[in-house]
Amino acid sequence: MGKSILNRLIVVSNRVNVPDIVQGKATGGLVVAIEEALADQGGVWFGWSGKTNTDGEFRKNTQTKNNVDYITVDMPDSIFDDFYGGFCNSLIWPIFHYQIGLADFSTENFVAYREVNQRFASILSSHILPEDIVWVQDYHFISMARELRKFNCTNLIGFFLHIPWPAREVLLALPEHKNLVSDLLEYDLIGFQTKSHVIAFMDYVVRELDGVIGDNGTVYALGKTSRVKHFPVSIDANAFVNEAKEAEDSMDVQRLLKSLGSRKLMIGVDRLDYTKGIVNRFEAFELFLEGLFETAEAPTFMQISPVSRGNLAQYQEIRQVLEKKAGQINGKYSDFDWTPVRYLNTGFDRKVLAGFFRNSSVGLVTPLRDGMNLVAKEYVASQSSEDPGVLVLSQFAGAAEEMDGAVLVNPYNTNEISKAIKDSIEMPKIEKMDRWFGMMQRLQIQDIKYWKNKFLQTLKNKNKGEFF
């Protein structure tokens, strides 16, 4: 298709995948999808540089490659902590993940949040052309459309939330909930991960704002009109298939297999975060070892959890708890030739992880709450069609709406998880293959490109009265 019928795309996200001139970098499916869209349409990728400064300036950096401008902004130290560590990660993150008790309700943090959105919008506005389409990613920039409209931006602006949208009763704990939802309603299209997130948002709009829900997800409230729809984010499934196959003979995978001996592997891969249910997962494995699997060799459980937000107290605490629990389990059940829990705070290349997934009998994905959880999809895509592993999945992960071949569990119920581990290990091969096949078919059809195209198509057709 010629460029003449395409509008430039402006992508706004917290972090920007600025091209590495020296050497290419391994990237996830979302990054690949965004890069593909920008390459097709031309445009701008805009966001935080990952850097702060002490001189109080919002400093712009620009790099151009092919027909894409990569624009990043350095933030002042004086506001960064209140914006990022404060409002984003100590208030929005816990509340949207139903962890109200861990939230920091400092009032000055919302002021910082709005200011960052305003300053970023001020910089971005000068780069937006009349026919451009703007696509904002995630909770860091909910107020971006509101601020861009102040600069007379009449462009189509879409927003996609990668984390959960909470139930109305939970959202009410957020002091600035009405202001935040009002900001969201400035978008032409609001995308969520699941149908339940859409329902929760609409319930809030109707009951708290006296809004009206029209046809095809149209929302009327506060004198504004938006459209709301779920767009389940996905992965490049075929890429994972290829990477998992290629990793089979890699040194890392061969070392892993050699170390396991005759034992099966059970794996969990999560960023170190209190929302991921890792403590409950360890406790469930301990229950399993206590008596649910006495007649055969127990599997080795490898939990990979790279450290994130390590400067926040909640994350330091969860790390200490997990280290203690792993030590307790290993101290109680280890033998001279076997360690039950391998707990690693190291990150691994995507290809290596795909190889690990492929050689594991059980994948444990049990977050307490998650927008989607792409690890669940990556695990399924990495499996061998001849002898696939079993996905044990939290019923509170967004992926549970799609991954109907998974063994669903309540992540708070350690007895239930323990039983799911036993059932998965003992599951007949024919059942494993049947469960896996349906999930894999869906992943190959509704992949990351499907998600990207569906969202942008829906946004572009808003003015035509069409809604997909």
Give the pLDDT confidence of 273-283 residue by residue, as tens digits. 999 999 999 99
Domain range for residue 308? 238-445
Report pLDDT digits (tens) over 334-393: 989 999 999 999 999 999 999 999 999 999 999 999 999 999 999 999 999 999 999 999
Kindly report, residue by residue over 385-422, the tens digit of the pLDDT: 999 999 999 999 999 999 999 999 999 999 999 999 99
DSSP H or E run through 445 = helix 429-445
Q: Is residue 468 part of a domain?
A: no
Asked whether residue 280 falls in the same domain as residue 209, the answer is: no
| 388 found inside a domain | yes
Residues 196, 342 share a domain: no
Same domain, 215 and 245: no
Residues 212 and 247 placed together within one structural domain of the fold: no
Same domain, yes or no, for 76 and 208? Answer: yes
pLDDT band of 72, cuts 50, 70, 90 = very high
> Is residue 55 assigned to a domain?
yes
For residue 109, the model assigns a pLDDT of: 93
Residue 223 lies in a domain: yes
Instruction: Name residue 76's amino acid.
Output: P
Shared domain check, 271 and 172: no
Q: CATH number, domain at 24?
A: 3.40.50.2000
* CA dist., res. 352 & res. 281, Å (int): 23
**53 confidence band (pLDDT: 50, 70, 90):** very high
Kindly tell me if the per-residue pLDDT of 24 is higher than 70: no
- Is residue 175 one of the residues assigned to a domain? yes
In terms of domains, do 227 and 369 share one?
no
Question: Picking from 2-6, 112-116, 256-260, 264-268, which range would have the lowest pLDDT averaged per residue?
Answer: 2-6
Tally of structural domains, the chain? 2
Residues 331 and 417 in one domain: yes
343 and 244, same structural domain? yes
> What are the catalytic residues?
162, 370
Same domain assignment for residues 257 and 140: no
**Residue 390: inside a domain, yes or no?**
yes
Across the range 321-329, mean pLDDT stands at 96
Domain identity same for 132 and 161 = yes
pTM beyond 0.85: yes
Helix-, strand-, coil-residue percentages of the chain, each rounded to 5: 50, 20, 30
What's the pLDDT score for residue 456?
A: 96
Radius of gyration of the chain (CA): 23
What per-residue confidence (pLDDT) applies to 296? 60
Q: Is residue 379 part of a domain?
A: yes
The reply to whether 224 and 249 lie within a common domain is no
Supply the pLDDT for residue 312. Answer: 73
Q: Residue 74: exposed, middle, or buried by beta-carbon count in 10 A (0-12, 13-18, 19+)? A: middle
